[in-house]
A and B are shown apart, each in its own frame.
Chain A
Amino acid sequence: MTAAIRAEGLVKSFGRVHALNRLELTIDKGQVHGFLGPNGAGKTTTIRILLGLLRKDGGELTVLGSDPWHDAAALHRRLAYVPGEVNLWPNLTGGEVIDLLGRLRGGLDEARRAALLERFALDPTKKCRTYSKGNRQKVALVAAFASNVELYLLDEPTSGLDPLMESVFQDVVAELRDEGRTVLLSSHILAEVEALCDRVTIVRSARVVESGTLDQLRHLTRTTVAVRTAAPVSECDLGSVHDIRAEGGRLVFDVDPGELNGVLTRLLPFDVQELTCSPPTLEELFRRHYDEQVPGDVAQAKPEDVALADLVGVR
């Protein structure tokens, strides 16, 4: 499969601040790719470089096979963008903005435009200055999704939407995925990424700390087990488990990948009456990256040298 986006060793500084430090990002065509990271990690900077709005200081970058800095206008015919902070012209209506952005991109799909306005329940006759944040976001979403393009770059596109609209958004992205289009979805909403994304890249402090399919990431983290047994279990009976606690008459603990079978075997003699094993949510994956300090040596190491185990699952 060919890559829609390939960034290698992307570097960007603003004065002394390193916004991106050898960032790696590969997104295959037809993929919905989650892009996660705390505020200030470099997500928006990355997307703006992908668009050619900012110039990279170093590294290699192709978007849909071309250089976004040099071929910005031609490239933008083939992609659509929803900025994180949607700023619109206060004296234009939402409908006018949707048409304008569509025309500037080279045309939009009338049927989709009408359908999307309906689905997002957006009144296109209101002046943009009277829209709430969520409604401004809907204007940008309709303008982007009404265009027939190969690649969608979405920078925290749902941060102002209510849960109903959030689910409409997920439906639309799922349809795009089924049509084989490529989506880069930067988000803070983990359920959304879990529901939509084939692969996830997690950035932190200007570099990628983790990239892979959700399954791959889960493989590296602990499973949470909640068990009720007839006979009481003590900590030493279980072997290598973590964070044992009692919750509502059940014993809850975390198990490292690979240890699960052994732990279950050791549980059997205590007469298991109820057992739930839950894979880690993305929330937990995410939190592990954010809660832990990056070890001092990581800062000097090349990103590819950083073992995942150093960053994930070590407490």
Chain B
Amino acid sequence: MTRNALAGTAALTRLALRRDRVALPGWLFGLAALTASFTAMTVTGFESPQAVADDAALMAATPALRMTGLSSGGSVGSYALARGYLTLAVLAALMSVFAVVRHTRQNEETGRAELIGAAVVGRHAPLAAAVLVAVMANLALVPLVALAMVGQPVGGALVAGAAVAVVGLAFTGVGAVTVQLSPSTRAASGMAGAGLGLAFLLSGVGNMLGSVDGTGMRVISAWPVWLSPIGWGQQMRAFDRDSWWPLGLGVAALVLLLGVAALLANRRDVGRGILSERLGAARAGRGLVNPFGLAVRLQRASLVGWAVAMAAFGLLFGAISDEVVTVDDDPDGWYAQMGGTHQMSSAFRTAMLVIIGMALAAYLVQVLLRMRAEEAEGRLESVLATAVSRARWAAGHVAAAAAGSVVLVVVFAATMGVAAGDSADQVGELGVAALVHLTGPLVLGGVVVAACGLLPRWSGALAWGLLAAAVLLSPMFGPGFGAPDWALSLSPFTHVPKAPAVEVTAGPVAALVAAAVGLGAVGLVALRRRDLVLPS
């Protein structure tokens, strides 16, 4: 019985690896590159080991900062992890969830699963293959992350790799369960994403409620961290205590969740989840009347998710701003470098807006690539067979994406300002500064439109690749790599004025907007001239 249920797993695993031969290495090497940049930033960003230890003590002593990373000793490795671990953990979790969803529910939605299911393939084989692929990717993360921590002790580096992988393993299990539950493929990723948000909060709150031990550089976390896979990874305390045993918690969670997934899988049909799809409106609402309305509707779910995240980060950054300003007043510290000013309050705000700018770029790339998905998946054909021109259709997507990004900026500025106790005027100033930081992302939005027009088949890889390059060459990461100035100048983020710390001049803003508009126009013209690339 069990054996029958798993028949064909090996073949499906090979198929999944073949399909992922670009995507998974992209994730793995991307994570390694980020790790390398966090390490390099710590190595080059401080004058002495003592400066690193001082900052680690600061992070440990400031409850609000503990939300953003767990301080665990004063070494370069542990400080780099305290700064960068959350990013790595979240990305490893997303990589794992997406892999599981891609090889299970997505196959069911596209109908490929039926083709496979009719062959000699057991009931649980597709799930087993998806989980195997995700587990393999997480195992590969251990040495890759370790290697990326250049110059750090090998033992600690391996624990660091395992600390990232433990989150990926646990969320492989979470993904395996949500694909059984959710009514749709997208909802499966969404539910797992909500779980990730919860894990993030639990570890953050647990660390915040913790206490500092005698060294002054190590936080003893409170119990909520043990409910979160991110907490387990942090409690491995790489480069400090190097404990391996929390890895067992991740493996146990994976096994337990897989058991639950297998039970649920027996109770659902192919293409359906345990939770069933609700009925919807029989008539289209007033908004669904033109290409803009359609694009808004298609981007709505993404926008809501991003808005919730923006509000959460806005509240968090706003709440910690006072403490950062009073505690971390090192004129040569990280915030001062990012903000380009020694005036700490605006330096902190500027640094946060730089981070938000990068997130907004990811949002624009994500929603604008829907243009390509609409074309490749054949839905565009029906729209362009109506009285809608290509330019009008594309303009609808661009306008909806731009409007969405402005909404996100406003949500972030408002929540951060309110949480920081700003006056209405100050919130307004923060909002304007945040809009200035939208100019860099707009250029990447232009890149997506140009890619969809000129190189439709490659637009996804091109857009995400250029986003990653722009982030790595930005002032936040590029100098850590020792990237030369000419390379830094290729990233649009390099040219974004450091508002509100520095007075904004019209020149760079106009140039960035012009670049975005120019790229978008190239894309629109190319789109009007070429054949559609439709499924045959």
Report which A residues bind B (CB closer than 8 A).
44, 48, 51-55, 72-74, 76-77, 79-81, 83, 85-93, 95-101, 103-106, 124-127, 129-130, 140, 143, 153
Q: List 11 A-B contacts (CB under 8 A).
A: A48-B532, A51-B385, A53-B532, A54-B531, A72-B390, A80-B385, A87-B378, A103-B288, A104-B383, A125-B279, A129-B277
Would you call A100 and B284 a contact (CB within 8 A)?
yes
Task: Assess A96 versus B381: contact at CB under 8 Å? Given A44-B536, A77-B387, A105-B386.
Answer: no
Residues of B within 8 A of A85 (CB): 378, 535
Would you call A126 and B387 a contact (CB within 8 A)?
no
Task: Assess A104 versus B387: contact at CB under 8 Å? Given A87-B379, A99-B283.
Answer: yes
Task: Assess A125 versus B301: contact at CB under 8 Å? Given A51-B385, A105-B387.
Answer: no
Report which B residues bind A (CB closer than 8 A).
109, 184, 186, 277-285, 288-291, 294, 297-298, 301, 377-379, 381-390, 392, 530-532, 534-536
Instruction: Output the nearest chain B residue to A129 by Cβ-Cβ distance.
Output: B184
Residues of A within 8 A of B378 (CB): 83, 85, 87
Would you call A104 and B388 a contact (CB within 8 A)?
yes
List 3 A-B pairs, minimum CB-CB distance, nearest first: A99-B284, A87-B378, A93-B280
- The docked-state distance in angstroms from the alpha carbon of A182 to that of B487 is 60
B145 shortest CB reach to chain A, Å: 36
Residues of A within 8 A of B531 (CB): 53-55
Would you call B387 and A81 a contact (CB within 8 A)?
no
- The docked-state distance in angstroms from the alpha carbon of A83 to that of B385 is 9
Residues of A within 8 A of B290 (CB): 103-104
- Looking at B184, B284, B290, B390, the one whose CB has the most chain A CB atoms below 10 A away is B284
Task: Assess A96 versus B388: contact at CB under 8 Å? Given A83-B381, A89-B379.
Answer: no
Q: Which of B277, B294, B532 makes the CB contact (< 8 A) with A100? A: B294
A138 shortest CB reach to chain B, Å: 14
Residues of A within 8 A of B389 (CB): 72-73
Instruction: Output the nearest chain A residue to B298 by Cβ-Cβ distance.
Output: A89
- The docked-state distance in angstroms from the alpha carbon of A73 to that of B377 is 21
Instruction: Output the nearest chain B residue to A89 by Cβ-Cβ distance.
Output: B379
Task: Assess A130 versus B277: contact at CB under 8 Å? Given A104-B290, A125-B282.
Answer: yes
Instruction: Output the nearest chain B residue to A44 by Cβ-Cβ distance.
Output: B536
Residues of B within 8 A of A83 (CB): 378, 381-382, 385
- The docked-state distance in angstroms from the alpha carbon of A142 to that of B301 is 28
Q: Which of B184, B392, B532 makes the CB contact (< 8 A) with A90? A: B184
Would you call B289 and A103 a contact (CB within 8 A)?
yes
Instruction: Output the nearest chain B residue to A76 by Cβ-Cβ distance.
Output: B387
- The docked-state distance in angstroms from the alpha carbon of A100 to that of B279 is 18
Q: Which of A52, A100, A125, A153 makes the CB contact (< 8 A) with B288? A: A100
Residues of A within 8 A of B386 (CB): 76, 101, 104-106
Extra 6 A-B pairs, beta carbons < 8 Å, given A96-B285, A125-B281, A127-B277: A48-B534, A80-B385, A96-B280, A99-B283, A124-B283, A125-B279
- The docked-state distance in angstroms from the alpha carbon of A104 to that of B389 is 10
Residues of B within 8 A of A89 (CB): 297-298, 379
- The docked-state distance in angstroms from the alpha carbon of A35 to that of B322 is 73
A51 shortest CB reach to chain B, Å: 5
Residues of A within 8 A of B284 (CB): 95-100, 103
Would you call B382 and A53 a contact (CB within 8 A)?
no
Instruction: Output the nearest chain A residue to B383 by Cβ-Cβ distance.
Output: A104
Residues of A within 8 A of B297 (CB): 89, 92
Would you call B280 and A126 a contact (CB within 8 A)?
yes
- The docked-state distance in angstroms from the alpha carbon of A88 to that of B294 is 12
B379 shortest CB reach to chain A, Å: 5
Residues of A within 8 A of B186 (CB): 90-91
Would you call A73 and B184 a contact (CB within 8 A)?
no
Instruction: Output the nearest chain A residue to B300 by Cβ-Cβ distance.
Output: A91
Task: Assess A96 versus B387: contact at CB under 8 Å? Given A54-B532, A55-B531, A73-B392.
Answer: no
Task: Assess A106 versus B385: contact at CB under 8 Å? Given A55-B531, A125-B280.
Answer: no
Would you call B294 and A129 a contact (CB within 8 A)?
no
Residues of B within 8 A of A86 (CB): 382
Would you call A76 and B385 a contact (CB within 8 A)?
yes
- The docked-state distance in angstroms from the alpha carbon of A238 to that of B263 is 73
Residues of B within 8 A of A129 (CB): 109, 184, 277
Residues of B within 8 A of A106 (CB): 386-387
- The docked-state distance in angstroms from the alpha carbon of A60 to that of B197 is 59
Task: Assess A127 versus B280: contact at CB under 8 Å? Given A77-B387, A91-B184, A104-B386.
Answer: yes
Residues of B within 8 A of A104 (CB): 290-291, 383, 386-388
- The docked-state distance in angstroms from the alpha carbon of A178 to that of B89 is 66
Residues of A within 8 A of B184 (CB): 90-91, 127, 129
Would you call A95 and B283 a contact (CB within 8 A)?
yes
Q: Which of A81, A93, A100 makes the CB contact (< 8 A) with B385? A: A81
- The docked-state distance in angstroms from the alpha carbon of A279 to that of B530 is 47
- The docked-state distance in angstroms from the alpha carbon of A81 to that of B283 is 21
Instruction: Output the nearest chain A residue to B294 by Cβ-Cβ distance.
Output: A100
Would you call A53 and B384 a contact (CB within 8 A)?
yes
- The docked-state distance in angstroms from the alpha carbon of A73 to that of B393 is 11
- The docked-state distance in angstroms from the alpha carbon of A85 to that of B535 is 9
Residues of A within 8 A of B534 (CB): 48, 53
Residues of A within 8 A of B294 (CB): 100
Would you call A81 and B109 a contact (CB within 8 A)?
no
B512 shortest CB reach to chain A, Å: 32
B377 shortest CB reach to chain A, Å: 6
Q: Which of A52, A79, A91, A101 makes the CB contact (< 8 A) with B382? A: A101
- The docked-state distance in angstroms from the alpha carbon of A153 to that of B381 is 13
Task: Assess A87 versus B382: contact at CB under 8 Å? Given A76-B387, A95-B283, A104-B387.
Answer: yes
Would you call A87 and B280 a contact (CB within 8 A)?
no
Would you call B385 and A53 a contact (CB within 8 A)?
yes
Residues of B within 8 A of A127 (CB): 184, 277-280
- The docked-state distance in angstroms from the alpha carbon of A23 to that of B73 is 76
Instruction: Output the nearest chain B residue to A99 by Cβ-Cβ distance.
Output: B284
Instruction: Output the nearest chain A residue to B276 by Cβ-Cβ distance.
Output: A130
- Looking at B109, B297, B381, B535, the one whose CB has the most chain A CB atoms below 10 A away is B381
Would you call B283 and A96 a contact (CB within 8 A)?
yes
